[in-house]
Amino acid sequence: MSEHKIEHNMEVIGADGVHVGTVDRVIDNRIKLKRHDSGDGMHKDHHHYIELGFVAGVEGSKVRLSANAAIAVTLEEERSGKPVD
């Protein structure tokens, strides 16, 4: 996946078209999602990351992932690279 096509503020959607997050930026072969799209509880108000390998393509202003949204959120990582639990 060509990371130069992924831009700030693009919507990240699952293969099913459901919202997963919003791009903050691409860093270290991962999409850094904006904080406001983080989960609940201890995962609220900090960035999550998605590996570029899960990107199926860029469609206009949307980044489509290869997994449905319900699965994609389980693929999110913390800054350290560890999975979100």
- pLDDT digit string, tens, across residues 36-76: 765 544 445 568 889 999 999 999 999 999 999 989 888 87
Domain assignment of residue 13, yes or no:
yes
0.85 surpassed by pTM: no
Domain assignment of residue 82, yes or no:
no
Domain assignment of residue 63, yes or no:
yes
Structural domain range at position 38: 3-75
Domain assignment of residue 81, yes or no:
no
Q: List strands edge to edge, sheet with 11-13.
A: 49-51, 30-33, 19-27, 11-13, 62-65, 55-59
CATH code for the domain of 37:
3.90.50.10
The residue among 54 and 1 whose pLDDT is bigger is: 54
Domain assignment of residue 84, yes or no:
no
Q: How many domains does the chain have?
A: 1
Say how far apart CA 39 and CA 53 lie, in whole Å: 22
